Structure 1
Amino acid sequence: MAKVRRMTHAGSWYTDNPSTLNHQLENWLSKAPVVQTPARAIIAPHAGYSYCGACGGHAYKQVDTSRIKRVFILGPSHHARIPGCSLTTTDKYQTPLFDLPIDTEVNAELYATGAFDYMRLDVDEDEHSIEMHLPYVAKIMEGRQGSFKIVPILVGSLSTDKETSYGRILSNYLANPENFFVISSDFCHWGRRFHYTFYDRKYGEIWKSIKALDEMGMEIIERLDPVGFSKYLGQYQNTICGRHPIGVLLNAVDALRKNGNKDKFSLKFVKYAQSSQCCSMEDSSVSYASGALVFQ
């Protein structure tokens, strides 16, 4: 019998009604322009859809699904302390639209490197950072049901050396145009409840300072500079929850460059949003950014 990861956040973080969900996703995708395509990888948020669903649509709109046979989804671990990266033990992930089959062969390949572990089912089902992307993946890939599989990877608190190592391993998969990568990340979590209240008053209101801080990091990511991104995080401690998945992506591109890959790589952010505009130290917000990596 197939082992299934249930959709544990449906009905709370996003609707579990297939018709309503399909309508929402279509609406968000229809309003997003095509500006950076065909994306080999995207960076997109993972909060509740009422907060970031529209922003995420801008990333998924950059995807050409015609060649995709495999979708890697790298999400940060919010609850379990893991030192590396972990793989699912299940055979498929549920979504309200249709179930997504796991590429167990690629899982076995990754596990054979000695760098990956398997996560317990309760850890898998507790985590939202991967699940929040599953409906969007199902939606854009609806015309290719039966022709693709997914590779969910839960990313722990990695050292810079480990980000380099995982980037090197995954670079071989990123180089294949039949593979597509989703990098799951929200940006600045600001406010006392997040224990982060950095405020540079030269930008005026707090929300403008947050935006400037995020854009500084986004510009470094667009440069595909893993060392610069690490230094930025060290200097400002920006609470980008998917910093390690982003670091793995940047190191994967860096590994391709060092191995003589002749492609030109272009990463651009196509949408930025905040859950609210902070005006006082009592406020709080979470930032969202959608970006796309193109190989030319």
Structure 2
Amino acid sequence: MSTRFASHAGSWYSSARDTLSGELDHWLAQVPASIDGTELPVPGARIIIAPYTRHAGYSYSGPAAAWAYKSLDLSKAKRIFLLGPSHALYLPGCALSKHSAYATPLGDLAIDTSTVKKLQDAGQFDKMSTSADETEHSLEMHLPYIFKMCSQFFNSAADFPPIVPILVGSTNASAEKLYGEILAPYLADPTSVFVVSSDFCHWGLRFQYTYYLPAPSSPAAAGTAGGYSLKNRDKNPTDPLIHESIARLDKLAMDAIETGKHDELLANLADTGNTVCGRHPIGVIMAAIEVLEKDGQVSGAGLGRFKFVRYERSSEVEEIGDSSVSYASAYAVL
């Protein structure tokens, strides 16, 4: 039995139990009790997309993530799958943790080692080394929120549903469909919950992404198929402002996700190059939902469709030398 160390606590988020717990409580309290007339948590909302960030820690992503977590319904949960993008470890597929628990400043979260073994036996998953596991942040940054939400649904930590951490690499379309097929039976189980880790647009020269969508009527739009990349020597555009263009880019990606069609997301990202860092985990879960739809296991208006409930950016970019990261939260009822 081994526990993964909370390697980013004390730097990217507080390692002090009371401080961290208080921050999470504060951000959750800022989310209204209902969204569009639906009380939170949303009944049956057992899939969420929630942001994280390495660039500024919880101070930016934490408030936005609260909208996804407050929507999450854990009332029937017996296991929580956590899918996050790989940043340091090159992976053409997906990898599982070899540990039996993940530590957080709030307390440890047990790993569902039985489910991990079943997935491993499928023959399509790599295994993370301890070094790779502790270097990666896209999974860890969600653990305190998962612990906090479990504490609101269950009487004691001993009753918390175990987690199934899955690191998703640079998967292509066929790989995402393959992993979607593997995870679909778990997704069909009403006691399984899925948390998908993703920020949205990383815009700026330091991210090597400066794509800009001019207003359709502007002179800059003439002769372009859609948008173009701004160069450092270019004048700062104003029609629209850069941050307004970023919002449009993210809205196009969110609209593609809300269609429920995996190929729509792939087409959008191919068109704009939007730096949605969790594109592959999102792709896997969308592919899994499509498997259930094809098998007739998803029926009813809106079921299996993501609904975005919050969108924020770390700053309002107006100059080409500036940068920002976007955060979006969504849930899906299944």
Using the size of structure 1 for normalisation, the TM-score is: 0.97
Q: 1:152 matched to which residue of 2? A: 165
Q: Distance in 1 between matches of 2:29 and 2:72?
A: 13
Task: Specify the SS of the correspondent of 1:66.
Answer: coil
Q: Distance in 2 between matches of 1:252 and 1:7?
A: 30
Q: Distance in 2 between matches of 1:82 and 1:158?
A: 8
Map 1:179-198 → 2, pairs under 5 A:
179-198=192-211
Q: Deviations over 1:70-96 (max 9, x none)?
A: 110000000110111000000100001
Q: 2:115 matched to which residue of 1? A: 106
Letter in 1 for 2:47: A
Q: Deviations over 1:221-244 (max 9, x none)?
A: 011110010011111110000000
Task: Specify the SS of the correspondent of 2:117.
Answer: helix
Q: Distance in 1 between matches of 2:172 and 2:61?
A: 28
Q: Distance in 1 between matches of 2:186 and 2:253?
A: 26
Runs of 4+ residues over 3 Å off in structure 1: none
Larger Rg: 2
Q: Distance in 2 between matches of 1:111 and 1:64?
A: 28
Q: 1:273 matched to which residue of 2? A: 312
1:3: how far off? Answer: 0.7
Letter in 2 for 1:62: S
Q: 2:267 matched to which residue of 1? A: 231
User: RMSD of aligned C-alpha atoms?
Assistant: 1.1
- Aligned with 1:168 (options 181, 206, 224): 181
1:262: how far off? Answer: 3.8
Q: Distance in 2 between matches of 1:22 and 1:146?
A: 19
Residues 1:216 and 2:249 are matched in the alignment: no
When structure 1 is superposed on structure 2, of 21-30 and 51-60 the one drifting more is 21-30
Q: 1:79 matched to which residue of 2? A: 88
- Aligned with 2:128 (options 103, 116, 119): 119
1:278: how far off? Answer: 0.4
Q: Distance in 2 between matches of 1:146 and 1:223?
A: 38
Task: Specify the SS of the correspondent of 1:281.
Answer: coil
Task: Specify the SS of the correspondent of 2:75.
Answer: helix
Q: Distance in 2 between matches of 1:260 and 1:114?
A: 27
1:132: how far off? Answer: 0.4
Q: Distance in 1 between matches of 2:29 and 2:286?
A: 29
Q: Distance in 1 between matches of 2:12 and 2:253?
A: 27
Q: 1:255 matched to which residue of 2? A: 291
Q: Distance in 1 between matches of 2:78 and 2:287?
A: 23
1:267: how far off? Answer: 1.4
Q: 1:67 matched to which residue of 2? A: 76
The answer to whether the 8 Å contact 2:46/2:74 transfers is no
1:64: how far off? Answer: 2.1
Q: Distance in 1 between matches of 2:11 and 2:125?
A: 31
Q: Percent identity?
A: 47
Q: 1:137 matched to which residue of 2? A: 146
Residues 1:92 and 2:101 are matched in the alignment: yes
Task: Specify the SS of the correspondent of 1:201.
Answer: coil
Q: Distance in 1 between matches of 2:31 and 2:299?
A: 27
| Count of aligned pairs between the two proteins | 294
Using the size of structure 2 for normalisation, the TM-score is: 0.86
Q: 2:49 matched to which residue of 1? A: 43
Q: Distance in 1 between matches of 2:19 and 2:50?
A: 21
1:66: how far off? Answer: 1.8
The answer to whether the 8 Å contact 2:184/2:289 transfers is yes
Alignment gaps of 5+ in structure 1: none
